[in-house]
Amino acid sequence: MTFKSFLGFFGKGGGGPDKGDDWNEKRGGHRLELGGAGSLSVSLQVPTGGESSTVIGAFVTNVSMRGCRLEFVEAADRNKLYPAQILVASLDVQGFSIPLQLEVVRLSGTREAAVRFKAPFPRELERLEKFIEPRSLGRSLREIDPAALQRTTEVGKGLRWFQGVNDTNLFSWQTSSGHVVQQQLVFLDCVVEWRNGEAARTGRVRGESSSAGRGWVPTELLDFDKTPDAGVLAKARTMILAAEIDPVIREAFLNQVR
């Protein structure tokens, strides 16, 4: 299963420009929780009568490639909306504005609203996909019961294994005293690996090889880059920052991936 099939897009008949079948007939979108004021925001153009309108802003508290949930600072702003209303909007993704049409799906509480993205879908939504992708993969990581693993892979080394969707795997080796000495992160056919205090390196899983269900990927099945790929390192860092894993393992990885 690819990340796009896991994430889902917009449902039947919502093809956007130059996207082909990728934008059609996808299953329900995975929703990424963001919390309160933070990474994403929306500006809505709300009609006020005749040809007049006003612009109101809201924070995005969760998001998928199909829509999002909004939280308004003022209840009076949320009260300008009603279900089935169609609005012109701009979604701000880390400083990049994406023009959209939104449909108000429902109102909740005094300051919240759920909205759905409407066709035509701009190609700029790729920015949103790139925002959601590593965070969703990171959030999906769950530790495999250490009792089910062969704890010792080398003399004095123990393995901890965190597995997520789409064959996402984080392997972490540590000494009996808990010191992390080696880690490997595999995601979307990419790999980030470091060992023995050396700088992290990046690469690709060769051919059809996969870590799914078979443990870590040995060196002979990896093609490493001559120099670390900054884009892969950035995705990896975002993933691990989003992951709910042992802080010791998280910090060991982040210290190597800068």
Nearest to 54 by CA among 71, 74, 35, 84: 74
Choose one of 68, 102, 127: the last residue of a domain: 127
Lowest average pLDDT, out of 49-58, 80-89, 151-160, goes to: 151-160
Mean pLDDT of 48-77: 93
Q: Is residue 53 in some structural domain?
A: yes
What percent of the residues of the chain are helix, what percent strand, and what percent coil, each to the nearest 5?
A: 20, 40, 40
Same domain for 81 and 117? yes
Mean pLDDT of 163-188: 92
- pTM for this prediction: 0.78
- Residue 214's pLDDT is 53
Q: 């051919």: which residue's tokens?
A: 207
Would you say residue 153 has pLDDT above 70? no
β-pairing, 201-205 vs 190-195, is: antiparallel
Same domain for 122 and 147? no
CA distance 215 to 170: 10
Same domain for 118 and 191? no
Q: Which two tokens stand for residue 61?
A: 């508290």
Choose one of 98, 127, 156: the last residue of a domain: 127
Choose one of 127, 161, 180: the last residue of a domain: 127
- Residue 38's pLDDT is 58
* Domain boundaries, position 72: 3-127
Q: 């490639």: which residue's tokens?
A: 65
Same domain for 170 and 206? yes
Same domain for 120 and 16? yes
Q: Is residue 135 in some structural domain?
A: no
Lowest average pLDDT, out of 8-12, 84-88, 201-205, goes to: 8-12
Give me the CATH number covering residue 93: 2.40.10.220
Give the SS3 label for residue 237.
helix
> Which residues, other chains included, contact 140 with Cβ-Cβ below 8 Å and sequence gap of 6+?
164, 165, 168
Same domain for 9 and 101? yes
Look at phi and psi of residue 247 and say left if phi exceeds 0, alpha if psi is from -120 to 50, else beta.
alpha
Q: Is residue 59 in some structural domain?
A: yes
CA distance 94 to 78: 23
Q: Are residues 36 and 71 in contact, defined by beta-carbon separation less than 8 angstroms? A: yes
- Number of domains, the chain: 2
Work out the widest C-alpha separation in the chain, in whole angstroms.
77
The single-letter code of the amino acid at 165 is: V
- Residue 208's pLDDT is 57
Same domain for 147 and 123? no
Nearest to 200 by CA among 221, 230, 169: 230
Q: Are residues 86 and 118 in contact, defined by beta-carbon separation less than 8 angstroms? A: yes
Kindly report the average pLDDT of the chain as a whole number: 83
Same domain for 95 and 152? no
- Residue 50's pLDDT is 80
